[in-house]
Structure 1
Amino acid sequence: MVNYVQTIREKVGHMPLLLPGSIVIILNNKGQVLLQERADGDQKYGLPGGLMELYESAEETAVREVKEETGLHIYESELNLINVHTGKDWVVKLDNEDVFQPVSIVYYTTKYDGELTIDHNETKSLKFFHRDELPNHMVLSQRKYIEQFNAMIQSGEVTI
């Protein structure tokens, strides 16, 4: 598969881009959330997910990224939309000077199959955490997604 972002970056350099992606809050039967300790330089915890490839739906992106990063299979029909996050407050500038504004489509699911499998290229560890006891060293935006999800549960807007 051609890496869409890499192909665009070769053409536009560090110019700011809009990059859509999907992120999934996966809950086990205890209501705990699956977090991935990333294998990249900062080794922060985060939610499984990633950027959309050309011709892919947001749901297809979620299924593909979760499978790549965790080994689990999730189902498009079982993805529940939480929110879409984007805007000037979310703009990211990477160490390599690339700038992008993510369009993060955040879902949750309680339905998955398979065994947790670590792809050491992207993942150092995978672990379920209580939603109110998240690790300190976590991607800030994704901590906010979980907090929003918790608030939706508290308000009765979401039932798990």
Structure 2
Amino acid sequence: MKEDYIKMIRRLVGHTPIILNTAAGIVLNDKHKVLLNLRADTHNWSLPGGFLEYGETYAQACVREVKEDSGLDVKTKLLLKTFDRGTVEYPNGDVAQTITQLFLVRPIGGELLEKQTDETLALKYFSFNELPELLNIQTAEMIALADKWVKDNYDL
């Protein structure tokens, strides 16, 4: 089995700050609320998504990571924007700047996870104006962009 790319990099550089590529998905329910996951590592909320594996595209990573984080099978519908101001310090001391491509995705199957995993403690749809404590400024900026996109594209 091939070694996890991020673990291999961390084995080489330790806790040195690094730049990582990530992808995230905006999943909306029929009331235009956004799906967030309570992260097991940092214990705050973020969009379903995560790190690209070596050789993977942003869109492929988005589909894979949304499935891992939420249980939903999704199709990328629209690339909303690339974000590059995200810095995260993890409880184990790792520090990373994340460059994230944010996609609007459409569920095409699967079901929301009903139990905790090693990455997700809980899942919940939130109104854009009633958000919980978020992972970082990048997550807040991504959700704000999604809120604007929903308002610009739907008669609410």
TM-score range, shorter chain: 0.7 to 0.9
Where does 1:44-123 land on structure 2 (aligned, <5 Å)? 44-75=44-75, 78-86=76-84, 89-117=85-113, 118-123=115-120
Where does 1:121-132 land on structure 2 (aligned, <5 Å)? 121-132=118-129
Percent identity for Structure 1 against Structure 2: 33
8 Å contact 1:53–1:61 — kept in the other structure?
yes
| AA partner of residue 81 (structure 1) | L
1:108 positional shift: 1.2
**RMSD of aligned Cα (Å):** 2.1
Distance change (3 Å), C-alpha of 1:30 and 1:37: same
Q: What is the rounded CA distance, in whole Å, between the counterparts of 2:14 and 2:39 in structure 1?
A: 25
Structure 2 residues without counterparts, runs of 5 or longer: none
TM-score (ref. length: structure 1): 0.83
1:95 positional shift: 4.3
8 Å contact 1:33–1:130 — kept in the other structure?
yes
> What's 2:18 paired with?
17
| AA partner of residue 85 (structure 1) | F
- Structure 1 runs of 4+ off > 4 angstroms? none
Q: Deviations over 1:69-122 (max 9, x none)?
A: 1111012xx331111111xx4344444443322111111123332211144211
1:159 positional shift: 5.3
Structure 1 residues without counterparts, runs of 5 or longer: none
8 Å contact 2:70–2:112 — kept in the other structure?
yes
Query: How many aligned residue pairs are there?
Result: 152
Comparing 66-75 with 13-22, greater Cα deviation is found at 13-22
Q: What is the rounded CA distance, in whole Å, between the counterparts of 2:103 and 2:69 in structure 1?
A: 16
Q: 2:33 matched to 1:36?
A: no
Distance change (3 Å), C-alpha of 1:133 and 1:81: same
Secondary structure, counterpart of 2:21 in structure 1: strand
Comparing 21-30 with 116-125, greater Cα deviation is found at 116-125
Q: 2:135 matched to 1:139?
A: yes
Q: What is the rounded CA distance, in whole Å, between the counterparts of 1:152 and 1:79 in structure 2?
A: 13
TM-score (ref. length: structure 2): 0.85
8 Å contact 1:68–1:119 — kept in the other structure?
no
Secondary structure, counterpart of 1:126 in structure 2: strand
